[in-house]
Amino acid sequence: MTPDITTAPMTLADLEAVIGIEASAFEQPWTAHSFRTELMKNDLAYYLVAKVGDRIAGYGGIWVIINEAHLTTLAVDRAYRRLGVASAMLQALIEKAFTMGARRITLEVRPSNSAARRLYEKFGFTARGVRKNYYIDEDGLVMYRSIRNFCRENNNDPAS
């Protein structure tokens, strides 16, 4: 059965759960301090959490600089993967990016991260190049998609 997934802006009260997921999802995890700084001091940033029931199942964030959004992070608790949690967050983040003025969105992903690459491809992102030594042990694959058709198509589906 598909769980009931909701998204909400990340708050400081979410940080303990977020840091727990972060530590198990990434080899070089962000610290609580990094997230706190993003939430409290970065006016260009927007972060959200996804909940299944009242459990935090994942989180993600963007920076929006003029008309371009950059996906800064996205992760799902291992116990809640393959249930559509990342998809729900990506949809919400793209919608938020659009309302903040972005008309395209970019991200970096490890070429070896096939799960994330499949997710982004499903959302219409295409590979646009490589950022050398972006990660400590791997280049970063730069992916991009336009979101400028979001309003014109008026179907609330920025993935179209």
Catalytic residues: 108, 120
Q: Read off the DSSP letter of residue 109.
A: E
Kindly tell me which residue out of 36, 55, 118, 128 binds ligand COA, with binding defined by CB under 6 A: 118
The residue written with tokens 């080899």 in the block is 27
Residue 43 or residue 109: which is nearer to ligand COA going by CB? 109
Q: Which stretch binds ligand COA (CB under 6 A): 38-46, 76-84, 93-101, 144-152?
A: 76-84
Q: Strands 45-52 and 5-9: what pairing?
A: antiparallel
Which tokens hold the place of 8? 């909400």
CA atoms within 13 A on the CB side of 119: 23
Smallest gap from Cβ 149 to ligand COA, in A, equals 21
* Interaction pattern, residues 77-116, with ligand COA; x per rule: CB under 6 A: ----xxxxxxx---------------------x---xxxx
CB atoms within 10 A of CB 34: 13
* Separation of alpha carbons 98 and 104, rounded Å: 8
Cβ 75 vs Cβ 25: under 8 Å: yes
Contact set for ligand COA, span 7-66 (CB under 6 A):
25
66, 67, 79, 122: which one contacts ligand COA (CB under 6 A)? 122
In the bound state with ligand COA, the residue whose beta carbon lies nearer, of 102 and 107, is 107
Query: What dihedral do alpha carbons 47, 113, 67, 36 form, nearest 10°?
Result: 20
Residue nearest to ligand COA (CB): 86
d(CA 39, CA 130): 29
Compute the least distance from the CB of residue 85 to ligand COA, in Å.
4
Least Å distance, CB 104 to ligand COA, is: 17
Q: Which residues here bind ligand COA, judged by CB under 6 A?
A: 25, 74-76, 81-87, 109, 113-116, 118-119, 122
